[in-house]
Amino acid sequence: MSEDSIYQTLRGHLGVLRLAAAAEALPGELDYATKNKLGHSAFLNRLLEVEVIATESRRRDSLERFARLPAPWRIGDFDFDAQPSVDKKMVQELATLRFLEDATNVLFIGPPGVGKTMLAVALARASIDAGYRTYYTTAADLVAKCHRAALEGRWATTMRFFAGPRLLIIDEVGYLPLASEAAAALFQVITQRYLKGSICLTTNLGVGSWGKIFDDPMVAWVNELGHTGDPDADLVEALAWLPAAG
């Protein structure tokens, strides 16, 4: 078999295996191997490395599209000097993503403008970088999706969707009053994720004020999550790590 035939066959094999990046890189890698007198293993390693990089890039792009993050913020973008009451060590610990290992939840409490959404999105970005499926939604959008799902007979499918991501960001809880059905939908999403995946929730209401969102049994359940800050606090000092129930 001629060199040209072998080359065409190899390109064909790479195509069948759907190794498009490796197939595209093949001519250049063959030239490089020839000029640098690479052995078979070294050549194959370089060729497959091209495909691995392309695969990881596609996966990351897919995670990015799925997450629907509203901004490209990262932890390094947060100005801790401007918000000295934010516990930097706690945020840095959260950025390690160890809380995802046991489906621990994170709660950021504070008035508008202190950076709750920025920190939540930054954690989501770190989660994506680590290869975890992540999804961002506001509380209003979440309950709207649930309402449409109930009307269209897709309730179970929607609950499975929100239960799926390793990290679910629910932003702006309490910014708008929720009707009883909407509050129940939000509560249902939270319970569906119990011990399955982490939630990072931002709110301008202290947990003690959640009766404005949930009815009494729901508030009792939320309090049982083990909120570590002052349940009546409504300042940025109440930035809290909310462990999962156990």
pLDDT in tens, 10-49: 999 999 999 999 999 999 999 999 999 999 999 999 999 9
Residue 192: other Cβ atoms inside 10 A: 17
211 band by pLDDT with thresholds 50, 70 and 90: low
Topology of 75-238 in CATH?
Rossmann fold (3.40.50)
Report whether 109 contacts 56 (CB < 8 A): no
Length of the chain: 246
Specify the pLDDT at position 156: 94
Task: List the single range of 91-95, 152-156, 214-218 with lowest mean pLDDT.
Answer: 214-218
Specify the pLDDT at position 237: 31
pLDDT at 52 over 60: yes
The C-alpha atoms of residue 48 and residue 98 are separated, in whole angstroms, by 31
The C-alpha atoms of residue 164 and residue 198 are separated, in whole angstroms, by 10
Specify the pLDDT at position 189: 92
Specify the pLDDT at position 212: 63
In what helix (H) or strand (E) does residue 162 lie, and over which residues does it extend? helix 155-163
- Of 71, 95, 113, the residue nearest 204 (C-alpha): 113
Output 109 or 144, whichever has higher pLDDT. Answer: 144
4 band by pLDDT with thresholds 50, 70 and 90: confident
Specify the pLDDT at position 214: 62
Q: What percent of the chain has pLDDT over 90?
A: 59
The neighbouring-strand residues paired with 137 are 170
User: Of the segments 5-9, 121-125, 220-224, which one has the largest average pLDDT value?
Assistant: 121-125
Output 243 or 126, whichever has higher pLDDT. Answer: 126
Output 203 or 62, whichever has higher pLDDT. Answer: 62
Domain ranges of the chain: 3-63, 75-238
Report whether 69 contacts 121 (CB < 8 A): yes
Q: Give residue-wise pLDDT tens across range 128-149.
A: 999 999 999 999 999 999 999 9
Specify the pLDDT at position 229: 40
Task: Determine whether 206 is exposed, middle or buried from the number of CB atoms within 10 Å of its CB (0-12, 13-18, 19+).
Answer: buried
* Cα–chain center distance at 83: 24
pTM exceeds 0.75, yes or no: yes
Report whether 168 contacts 135 (CB < 8 A): yes
* Cα–chain center distance at 154: 23
Specify the pLDDT at position 3: 80
Helix (H, G, I), strand (E, B) or coil at 123: helix
114 band by pLDDT with thresholds 50, 70 and 90: confident
